[in-house]
Amino acid sequence: METILKLIKAKGQRLTSQKKQVLLVLQKKPQTVIEILGGVKLKKVSIDKATVYRILTNLKELEIVKEIRLRDREVRYELSNCEHHHHLVCEKCGDIEDVALCEETILKEVKKQSHFKIDSHTLEFFGLCEKCQ
């Protein structure tokens, strides 16, 4: 989080309490605007949906936040300073966890089976989390 805060200041941006709270909420997992809004409001910070969108747009422009879409096609946001990872999605409660996999092994296997030139990829696993099993 310290790196993100320094980057915001280095770009001449203000770190408002609302922006800081959005960043803190995003540290947990990828979230929709509504989930982010609810997480910030839980901390007793006054914020509305339009402000969350403005903050997210600003953070995307600074390349601090990125959009992801899972199987439900709903836009979620996550911090982009994390190592490349994939997601485990619980189909019952909707919880999302990050999982790091050996990219090199996966990409070598794809290359072995295909002549496709890969620019980027996403990989999600769907099932039941430990609480929902």
DSSP sequence for 23-72 = HHHHTTS-B-HHHHHHHHHHTT----HHHHHHHHHHHHHTTSEEEEE-TT
Q: Is the pTM of this model over 0.85?
A: no
The closest alpha carbon to 24, from 65, 63, 62, 54, belongs to 65
Q: How far is the first Cα of the chain from the last one, in angstroms, to the nearest whole number? A: 33
CATH 3.30.1490.190 in the chain, residues? 86-127
**Which residue in the block uniquely carries the two structure tokens 């914020």?**
47
CB 76 within 8 A of CB 86: no
Q: Is the pLDDT of residue 81 over 80?
A: no
Q: By CB neighbour count within 10 A (0-12 exposed, 13-18 middle, 19+ buried), where does 65 fall? A: buried
Cross-strand partners of 88? 97, 125
CATH architecture group of domain 86-127: 2-Layer Sandwich (3.30)
Residue 78, both tokens: 């996550």
Give residue-wise pLDDT tens across range 83-128: 777 888 898 998 888 887 777 888 888 888 998 888 877 788 999 9
For 100, the 3-state DSSP assignment is: coil
CATH domain 2-79 topology: Arc Repressor Mutant, subunit A (1.10.10)
- What residues does CATH 1.10.10.10 cover in the chain? 2-79
The Cα 109–Cα 67 span in angstroms is 27
pLDDT recorded at residue 72: 77
Q: Which of these, 99, 69, 67, 77, lies nearest to 23 by C-alpha position?
A: 77
* pLDDT band at 82; cut points 50, 70, 90: low
